[in-house]
Structure 1
């Protein structure tokens, strides 16, 4: 009984890991894109008002991950407050606020979409080839069990994010990445994994030079 309990617990943990994930779906950069350690980077997130906690966590985690790499990164919410770049702020005013605070680059993080989806998960018909040595019946009965085991529906919450890096001196977009998070267990975990994924991709794209 103890072995069965351990097996069920392990299967449950594997299922949870499979259901929740954060992955990069696309990324792009200009040829001359780079992060410079002597310049300030402002991380600025946008999300619906009901996601204010997640918005703050996104900024804090990305700024923290960039600081680990030696960059002067700050959260816009902590540096300027929640309403510093509202819908009544024009471009000239926004740029002046940033430059007066010695910001050279802005990394925006936007929640493009949050959706609840219902997906069909098919049965394990093609989940692997059954053992077939030793006789007809073990082979046939194993396939029979797989063939007629029904599928099921599961509901997932999917978050789609986009990060854009703008160079204020050049006044242009130099990097963009999109990710998708599926059923994150908590806002804290989602922000942590997102920041790790973006900084990892920046390193891969050579925006972050290896020390």
Structure 2
């Protein structure tokens, strides 16, 4: 019974550790004190090769932007056949911006993964638990623990670094980049939870 209780405790602990993602803003820059994005049409772009992730991140950001009184639309809705990861040649940028303006787009918010960092850490369970191997895989991250004489859980996680760029394409070329937001997502487990958390953090920074 005691052994069963100990194993259950470990499962609960692991669930708490990997069941929620931590999103935080690590750096933020803006061209002016106040961003002039209200009463403008916003296009939200998530640059990823995974279609499901793109749709989820764009949908949540648009949903939360519109809840805050802004007007936005997802790139996969506005331009369903476009590839957000396709590299734009320098000589075609003006043409693309011109076409976006014709489509009634004023602001573009582009989020993309720019880096990932793996790390390991240990947690003391403070219980006399028998060895019980466990491995969990989600979003290309591995979580493991080994119970040895010190009753510790050995964890391996990944922190993903995302960059969000905000452009006002109604301005001159040199003035179009109006904000850069860098954020970190620690050990993402659930796509929906992570996406919603990410969108709220980004909007909070934009609405300052």
- Normalised to the residue count of structure 2, the TM-score between the two structures is 0.71
Written as runs of structure 1 = structure 2, the 5 A alignment for 1:100-119 is: 100-115=102-117, 117-119=118-120
Deviations 1:53-79 (A, max 9, x none): 112211111111100011111111110
Q: For the residues of structure 2 that align with 1:111 and 1:101, how far apart are their CA atoms?
A: 27
Larger Rg: 1 or 2?
Answer: 1
Q: Structure 1, residues 142-197: CA drift from partner, whole Å, max 9, x if none?
A: xxxxxx94755311132211111111122421111111112212222221110011
Partner secondary structure for residue 103 of structure 1: coil
The secondary structure found in structure 2 opposite 1:38 is: coil
**Deviation, structure 1 residue 101:** 1.1
SS at match of 2:106: strand
Moved more, 151-160 or 36-45: 151-160
Superposition CA RMSD, Å:
3.1
2 CA distance for matches of 1:159 and 1:15? 16
Partner of 1:99: 101
In structure 2, the gaps of 5 or more residues are 126-148
Counterpart contact for 2:161–2:182, Cα < 8 Å: yes
2:73 maps to: 74
Provide structure 1 residue ranges, at least 5 long, that are not aligned to the other structure.
125-147, 207-211
CA distance in 2, matches of 1:23, 1:42: 23
Residues matched between the structures, number: 178
Shift of 1:118: 3.9
Is contact 1:33-1:175 (8 Å) kept?
no
> Aligned pair 1:55/2:57, yes or no?
no
Partner of 1:29: 30
CA separation in 1, counterparts of 2:32 and 2:93? 26
C-alpha distance in structure 2 between counterparts of 1:120 and 1:98, whole Å: 47
User: Structure 1 residue 195 and structure 2 residue 199: aligned?
Assistant: yes
Q: Distance in 2 between matches of 1:43 and 1:202?
A: 13
- Say if 1:190 and 1:66 are closer, same or farther in 2 by CA, change over 3 A: same
Q: Distance in 2 between matches of 1:199 and 1:112?
A: 20
Structure-2 change in CA distance of 1:122 and 1:184 (3 Å)? closer
